Amino acid sequence: MASVTIELDGNELWSAVFGSGFESDPVNRHWLKDYSFGKDTTWNKAGIVTIEYITEADENIVHTRDLDVNDLAQALSYAIQNGYRHVPCGGAIGIDFDDYDSCVADIILQLAIYGKEVFA
């Protein structure tokens, strides 16, 4: 399989994920325990976000991880290369950010945190 490198606007990817209503997705409400944007970061201005999450191994322990737009871009690349689709949303994940909703954001965040879809 050949790969193609593309350039994305970091703020567009960031706002597609964090402006999608991802925090209200039923799947997210299971694994995502909390999140907070870093200084000078908002839902539509890329920066650092701290994610508090659980794992399959122990749902009673909350872990913390900082993500930036590069983490989201790597997760998006992985999703595209591996043909990720989110069942409730139905569509393939791509670079048309207008198509992003809470389901797509959930997959991108899970790939950034876990490296795979853990909670469906």
- Tell me the whole-structure pTM to 2 decimals: 0.89
- Average pLDDT by stretches of 10, the chain with 120 residues: 75 93 76 94 97 93 97 94 76 83 89 92
d(CA 4, CA 57): 35
- Alpha helices by DSSP H, listed for 5-87, are 10-18, 26-31, 69-81
CA dihedral 37, 41, 46, 51 (to 10 degrees): -10
- Type and span of the H or E element at 86: none
pLDDT of residue 2: 59
Task: Give the relative orientation of helices 69-81 and 10-18 as an angle to the nearest 10 degrees.
Answer: 80
Give yes or no for a contact between 19 and 44, defined as CB atoms under 8 angstroms apart. yes
Instruction: Say how far apart CA 12 and CA 15 lie, in whole Å.
Output: 5
Residue 110 CB neighbour total at 10 angstroms: 24
Return all residues near 40 (Cβ < 8 A) that are at least 6 apart. Answer: 47
pLDDT of residue 84: 84
Q: What pLDDT, on the 0 to 100 scale, is given for residue 3?
A: 65
